Structure 1
Amino acid sequence: MLRRSPHHRWTLVSRVMVGVLSLLALGGIVVAFAAFAYGRSAARQAFDPLLVGAAQDIAESISIGDEGPVIDLPVSAFGLLSLAPEDRIFYAIHGPDGALLTGYDGIPAALDTVQPRFRDWTLQDDAARFVTVSRLFSERAYAGRIYVTVGQTTRARRAMALDLTRRALFVTTFGGIALIVSALIIIRSAMRPLEVLTRDLAQRDPYDLTPMQADGPQEVRVLVGALNRFMGRLDRQVGAMKNLISDTAHQLRTPVAAIRAQAELALEDDAPRRLPRLERLVWRTRSLGRLLDQMLSRALVIHRIDNAAPTAIDLRDIALTVLDSRDHELLAPGKDVQLRIGEDAVVVLADEISLTEAVRNMLVNALRHGATPVVIGVSPTPTGSAIWVQDSGDGPPDAVRATLGQRFERSAASKGNSAGLGLSIVRAVAQAFGGEMTMATVQGGFRVSLTLPHHGAGQSQ
């Protein structure tokens, strides 16, 4: 027994919502990293100029005395840096030869820079950011660059970056919640036609195969259209099965009863009267066989119409197949059957077996009820391509022609030799593939035609 995966029990709404939540979660992670990166960048843009300003103030306060550089640290240089009270400040001043003039030893100084240069470093187990600026002296008593390095721990920077990240995440979370609620409302509204369709299908009677109303958006109309086509095929299959059962029950009861009666009478009759009884019994048996053949043939055609995919077929091949089968030699020995086809292909889109069965029934109908010679022909028409069977007789009266093609409709001339299903098979095949069956008196006799639309490059000119 197959076990259904838990994923198969999810509703369509839940699957869409899981997808939306997954995208939002992924987007939230990306936004969080982007916000933190933006916060760090903003913190650097806010604090780095303060470091540069402090270093430049110190550099501007340096003067050259008789014994060398005189350093007078200005209070204003550290005033701006004191805006971050939790951070510590470091400084170092180096001479041209790299010797420490004053400040903290071990501070990373860029002793080859002209422009301000930044560096991140860990000092006294705390992360810090340093900047080095230089001032060039060209005096008689002293010449060279003096390098001023100022650093500050990054607690305020991290706090600023985290605060910006929290603010961004707060806005993102609020927007995400609003987006989730909006998405749920929109998805539920979009899925409502499917819910209505599901409810209608659940409440529909199992034997109700009538078409459903194709309301709603395009996707729902496509789905309903596919369901209606499937139910139409199913309805035709069920209808064919019902017809076969009812026809079998109705049409076979009388022939079987007659055969049984004739057999019983033949057993009771004396020898002189037994031969006519047996001849009548054989005639009844043949009639029953023809009835069964046509009933099964019609059931086969109806089944293939809904289950076999149409293919491109040259009608000349169908005519040759029917003639080469030589069934007419057994059905009507001695009757002349001719073939009239052209050299150009006459291609239609249909099922080969169904089409062959239809043409065979057209030929049988002409041999039983028409006059010889009988002609099987293929020709193009203004509306399509036709395969036809023509006999040399006048055909039935107009009043009878109007009813031919319906199930179990027989002409008076059949005299019990027809089951009345042959032309109904032809009409069913024609309607299934977008064509028509026509009957007409033409020059030289009576013609029954099965006309189908042209197909592709095989179209006759």
Structure 2
Amino acid sequence: MRTPSLRVRLLAVILAPLIVISALVGIWRFVDASRTAERLFDRTLLAASFAIAKDVVTTEGEMLSQTTWDTLNDAAGGQIYYHVNGPDGSFVIGYATPPVPPAEIDAQDPGPIFYNSQHLGEDVRVVRLREETDMGWVSGLSTVTTWQRIEARRAFAWDLARRTVVVITILIGSVAFVVWFGVRYGLRPLADLQSAIAMRSPDDLREIARPVPNEVEGIVRTLNSLFSQVERQISSKDAFISDAAHQLRNPVAGVLSLAEAARDAKSEASRRQRIALLVTAARHTSRLTQQLLSYERARYQELGSDDPRIDLAEICRDVAGRNRGSLQPRISLHVMVDGEAWVRGDAAMMGEAIQNLIDNAVTHGKTTTKVTLEVSRNGHQVRLTLSDDGEGLAANDFDKAVERFSQLGDGPGSGLGLSIVKAVCDRHEGVLTLEEVPRGTRISMTFPAVEEVALAAE
């Protein structure tokens, strides 16, 4: 699925909240404009009512002054209508039928009282005012009722809201324009960086040294780190292939020479002797090839959370059982288990590590007569220890011994045994240590234990 471009995403991230905020502002502006219009027009309506009441008192209800007429006809919000009742309730001046007030309006309340009503089928805003008047024949409280169409107020509020919407729309359009073209300009360094990387060959893993914006420095640092890791991995694999070719060259040549010698043997006894030597050389070559593959697998296969739990004690017993029949009669192999020994990992790789520990003890121990595998649980850790009574390995030689194709003497072996053990230990998040003992060698592998709760869940 194709993801939207960065410009589109930025445009959406910026404009979406702006549009929501603008809608809320527009609604608020309309409501506020309606309230403002209501206050302004109510004041105009009340002022007209006072003017009418004054003219009624002055002329005793005969007529309205020109100023009042101008106010009624030119008032904001449209024409103002009026109706005046005298103190005795008789009609004095104005329009004959005023809007009917709601039932909750108190007829004796002097006011001013504002309310909404209808007049000739139209919604109107009304103010009723009671003023003390003296019309010659009678005196008392006269009632002045003025009203105005509400539609004008709504139109005024909509006009104010429309102006706000126009301003906001122009603002959003300007922001969209700036974001659309500004992001293109702002992302130009990324496009230049992409072009520079695209021009590189697959063999060019140099660090990116060109200047980039601060926001991109993290990406460039990560790329440089990745380039460096890939370069190291390639160099390591190249070195491994070179070393493997060198290590396999002599055994393969030996197998070929022995095969040719067996073919050209002059007698049956000589042929059998050379075939026996050929079988031994072939086994050595096969073991070396297996170690090479195991070493690479252990180095580059990481421990996963979905790896099964394995019983380290059971693996030790299996490996020991396979070795007892092939060891020299003078060498004894024992397995000692103390407590649960469950870890998470690859049983085949763990067995290969144990096999290499045994081979290392037998081959390089020289005088080894006893090999012991001990498995124990200590808190959250499982420890596997191999000890022998051979010549032993000095502590200052341990780091060299675990290096690939490294041998401390001229003895047999490929120099991969302890390297495989170290790689398997690292792959299983374990720790490989050499313990000081009075005689022989004692090497331990410590791994995180699988907790009982996790076992019950599985």
TM range (shorter): 0.7 to 0.9
What is the match of residue 26 of structure 1?
Answer: 20
Label 1:220 to 1:184 Cα distance change in 2 as closer, same or farther (>3 A).
farther
What is the match of residue 64 of structure 2?
Answer: 74
What is the match of residue 376 of structure 1?
Answer: 373
What is the match of residue 104 of structure 1?
Answer: 95
Q: Counterparts of 2:191 and 2:429 in 1: how far apart (Å)?
A: 35
Matched-pair contact (CA < 8 Å) for 1:94–1:146: yes
Give the aligned residue type for 2:252.
V
Give the aligned residue type for 1:266.
A
Residue in structure 2 matching 1:288, options 285, 288, 296: 285
Please list the CA deviations of residues 171-220 of structure 1 after superposition, one character each: whole Å capped at 9, or x if unmatched: 54565467557767996798678667655654554345677789876896
What displacement does 1:394 show? 1.9
Give the aligned residue type for 2:281.
R
Matched-pair contact (CA < 8 Å) for 1:110–1:132: no
What displacement does 1:347 show? 8.4
What is the match of residue 359 of structure 1?
Answer: 354
Q: Counterparts of 1:391 and 1:434 in 2: how far apart (Å)?
A: 25
Whether 2:98 is the aligned partner of 1:92: answer no
Q: Helix, strand or coil for the counterpart of 1:165?
A: helix
Give the aligned residue type for 1:372.
T
Give the aligned residue type for 2:61.
I
Which shifted more, 418-427 or 202-211?
202-211
What is the match of residue 66 of structure 1?
Answer: none
Q: Helix, strand or coil for the counterpart of 1:393?
A: coil
- The share of aligned pairs that are identical, in percent, is 27
TM-score by length of 2: 0.73
Q: Helix, strand or coil for the counterpart of 1:377?
A: strand
Whether 2:157 is the aligned partner of 1:161: answer yes
Q: How do residues 36-435 of structure 1 correspond to structure 2 at under 5 angstroms?
A: 36-59=30-53, 71-75=61-65, 76-84=67-75, 87-93=78-84, 102-105=93-96, 107-110=98-101, 112-113=105-106, 114=109, 115=111, 116-119=113-116, 121=118, 128-134=124-130, 147-153=143-149, 157=153, 160-161=156-157, 164-165=160-161, 167-169=163-165, 172=168, 176=172, 198=194, 201-208=197-204, 221=218, 242=238, 245-247=241-243, 249-269=245-265, 270-305=267-302, 308-309=304-305, 317-325=311-319, 326-332=321-327, 334=329, 335-340=331-336, 342-343=338-339, 354-370=349-365, 371-378=368-375, 387-396=384-393, 401=398, 403-412=400-409, 414-415=411-412, 418-431=413-426
Label 1:456 to 1:182 Cα distance change in 2 as closer, same or farther (>3 A).
farther
Label 1:98 to 1:395 Cα distance change in 2 as closer, same or farther (>3 A).
farther
Matched-pair contact (CA < 8 Å) for 2:101–2:117: no
Q: Counterparts of 1:399 and 1:413 in 2: how far apart (Å)?
A: 18
What displacement does 1:361 show? 1.7
Please list the CA deviations of residues 256-296 of structure 1 after superposition, one character each: whole Å capped at 9, or x if unmatched: 33223222221221213111111111111111111121112
Q: How many residues align?
A: 437
Q: Counterparts of 2:372 and 2:277 in 1: how far apart (Å)?
A: 32
Please list the CA deviations of residues 381-407 of structure 1 after superposition, one character each: whole Å capped at 9, or x if unmatched: 9xx875331110122567865532222
Matched-pair contact (CA < 8 Å) for 1:93–1:100: yes
Q: Helix, strand or coil for the counterpart of 1:150?
A: strand
Label 1:55 to 1:247 Cα distance change in 2 as closer, same or farther (>3 A).
same
What displacement does 1:422 show? 1.2
Give the aligned residue type for 2:116.
R
Please list every run of 5 or more consecutive structure 2 residues that lacks an aligned counterpart in the other structure.
454-458
Q: CA RMSD in A?
A: 4.8
What displacement does 1:421 show? 1.1
Q: Counterparts of 2:139 and 2:82 in 1: how far apart (Å)?
A: 22
TM-score by length of 1: 0.73
Give the aligned residue type for 2:250.
T
Matched-pair contact (CA < 8 Å) for 1:387–1:451: yes
What is the match of residue 448 of structure 1?
Answer: 443
